[in-house]
Amino acid sequence: MKIKLSRYKTRQLWFYTKRAFWILISWVLISNVLFFYEFFTLKGEGLLSSAFDFHSAFTANLIVAISAGLIGGVFTVNLMEQWLRRHEFWKALLYIVTTYIVGALFISTIGALYFNSEKLGLPFYHQDVLVATQLFFGTWLFLKNFIVWLFIVITTLIILMVNDKYGPGMFADYLMGRYFHPKHERRIFMFADIKNATGIAETLGEEKYFNFLKDFFRHIAPAIVQTRGEVYQYVGDEVVVSWKMKHGLRRGNAIQCYFSMQRIIRKKSSKYLKKYGIVPEFKVGYHYGPVMVGEIGQIKRDIAFSGDVLNTTARIQAICNDLDVKVLASKEFANVAYKLPKGVTKIDMGSEQLKGKAEEMPLVTYKKI
């Protein structure tokens, strides 16, 4: 069990490390672009004095950018994202603003101490350097940097929120208008449905059951995001997840999503028992095929999929109970998704007649070995 858990943690750690790395690179790049833009603008206007030390100014900017990228990428942004998920928006916004102000003051202090130390030729703890650093916080330069970095942090959070809603990479697709005009794509779909949802709802009551669903969808979200899945829609007690072919097949991501979801719920089972007296069990169905995808809606714009593959995937998931399995996939999908996660094996289930289908469909299930 410890080995299996470590595999999940490794995948999770790699996901957050990779995201932190790209935030670091992006913020450093943005900071340097702004620095050079300002430098060449002032130089072109003849506003730079002979006392200006380019090397010290550039190094101080780099220190601030790297510090911001490391703190923002590794800690702050992830923390802010959790607040947006778990708290009311006004409360999360208050936490974010407070954290940003503390972070901005800390990072600015580091940069100002270095710059003033180099400028005055004194150690950073010298009284003159400390005084000059204190005065820096009353300048227009600090105010400008504060506003610019606030915009950068908020933009980063918006991108992460869009990725949370639709899946990694979808922000760029929206920005580029990739789906403004409908287009054909081959996609992998997974329908995940809570077992005995009606009975659970009757036992818990409407309000408690709603919170039960809310917790379930929130808890399984990391498994979807870390396997590069895109949440298509939530329908009652069901979530529909989609993968672009290259993302879903890579490292067995699509199949890994189910086992990661199972692992998360097992890990939180004691919390579910304490809070609801029930641990959610769920079943999933997999299939893939061609779909039409595009933006739809005027008041509330969304990305919609259309194609027989969705209906087929729903039918596959619907017979999990009949076959006494928790995960079921078309053999057509299994043949394409031949690269399985470590420790997972495929088991043939024969052919079954799906509702509304003229011909029987060969099916498989997956199990940990």
**What's the pLDDT score for residue 2?**
40
More confidently predicted of 165 and 261: 261
Per-residue pLDDT of 161-193, as tens digits, reads: 666 655 555 666 666 767 778 889 999 999 999
Using CA atoms, how far apart are residues 71 and 76, in angstroms rounded to an integer?
6
**What's the pLDDT score for residue 342?**
87
**Sign of the dihedral defined by the CA atoms of residues 2, 8, 12, 14, in that order:** positive
More confidently predicted of 91 and 275: 275
Using CA atoms, how far apart are residues 278 and 204, in angstroms rounded to an integer?
9
Using CA atoms, how far apart are residues 173 and 179, in angstroms rounded to an integer?
7
Instruction: Give the predicted TM-score (pTM) of the model.
Output: 0.70
Nearest of 301, 306, 318, 302 to residue 356 by alpha carbon? 318
Distance of CA 117 to the CA centre of its chain: 40
All CATH 3.30.70.1230 domain ranges of the chain, comma separated, are 170-368
Reported confidence tier of residue 144, pLDDT bands at 50, 70, 90:
confident
* Fold topology of 170-368: Alpha-Beta Plaits (3.30.70)
Using CA atoms, how far apart are residues 108 and 164, in angstroms rounded to an integer?
30
pLDDT at 148 over 50: yes
Reported confidence tier of residue 260, pLDDT bands at 50, 70, 90:
very high
Question: Which of 17-26, 162-171, 210-219, 266-275 is least confident?
Answer: 162-171
Per-residue pLDDT of 47-61, as tens digits, reads: 777 777 888 888 888
Question: Could you give the 3-state DSSP secondary structure of residue 344?
Answer: strand
pLDDT at 291 over 80: yes
- What the block records as the tokens of 243 is 């993968």
Helix, strand, coil percentages (3-state) for the chain, rounded to 5, are: 65, 20, 20
With a CB cutoff of 8 Å and minimum separation 6, the contacts of 121 are: none
**What's the pLDDT score for residue 167?**
57
Per-residue pLDDT of 73-129, as tens digits, reads: 776 666 666 676 677 767 777 777 787 788 888 888 888 888 888 888 888 888 998
pLDDT over 70 for what percent of the chain? Answer: 87
